[in-house]
Amino acid sequence: MPGTPFVDELVRRLRLDGGPVEVRHGGRQTADVVLHPAALDHPVTLRTSEGELAVAVPRLGADCRDAFWPGSTIDEAGFNVLLVHVDEVVATRDTTEPLRITAGGLQWPR
């Protein structure tokens, strides 16, 4: 979908793990990104929007780049930490309901 570079980059990075990733674009540049982790018997849906990712990624990157990825751009570091959070949630939490990525980052399920 044109005009969604943050959603597109999220999907590109998720596909690097080799598992299938589907994208369902909605109105107002929203997207459901559906992962199929090998360790789970169900898909995991990340629900977000281009606008929320465009705020979350640089915010997350600014908080961690210098400490963890000093050779990266702020956006690269932001995507890195966001994907670390997704991996942690998939490994440790209930992911049967969609996970939200808001302007504050990944909203962890209880």
Q: Which of 2-6, 18-22, 29-33 has the lowest mean pLDDT?
A: 2-6
Domain count, the chain: 1
Question: Which residues does residue 34 pair with via DSSP β-bridges, in sequence order?
Answer: 22, 45
d(CA 105, CA 91): 18
- Tokens 């909605």 sit on residue: 26
Taking only the tens place, the pLDDT of each residue in 44-100 is 999 999 999 999 999 999 999 999 999 999 999 999 999 999 999 999 999 999 999
pLDDT at 18: 83
Domain span holding position 28: 5-107
3-state per-residue secondary structure call for 22-43: EEEECHHHEEEEEECCCCCCCC
Q: Are 45 and 32 in contact (CB under 8 A)?
A: yes
Give 23-50 pLDDT, tens digit per residue. Answer: 999 999 999 999 999 889 999 999 999 9
pLDDT given at position 65: 97
pLDDT class for 2, splitting at 50, 70, 90?
low
